[in-house]
């Protein structure tokens, strides 16, 4: 998924996406509760921006 995203998004967006993906994986499969409220808010804001960028690419 990260490689696919790299075809369409800039490097900074791919980096953010990959970090959020790894953090989610860790929180689900390794240690629950490792994501702070601040990190969660950042993830929601970053995801919103990424979805908007992807929507523009699809138009």
Q: Tens digit of pLDDT per residue, the chain (59 long)?
A: 888 888 888 999 999 989 999 988 888 888 877 888 898 899 999 999 999 998 998 88
Token pair, residue 40, equals 């969660």
Residue with tokens 């138009």: 59
Tell me the three-class secondary structure of 6-56, residue by residue.
HHHCCHHHHHHHHHHHHHHHHHHHCCCCCCCHHHHHHHHHHHHHHHHHHHH
- The model carries a pTM of 0.70
């Amino acid at each position: 998924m990260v490689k696919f995203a790299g075809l369409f998004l800039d490097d900074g967006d791919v980096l953010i996406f990959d970090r959020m993906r790894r953090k989610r994986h860790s929180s689900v499969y390794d240690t629950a509760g490792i994501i702070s409220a601040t990190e969660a808010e950042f993830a929601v804001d970053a995801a919103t921006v990424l979805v908007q960028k992807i929507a523009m690419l699809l138009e």
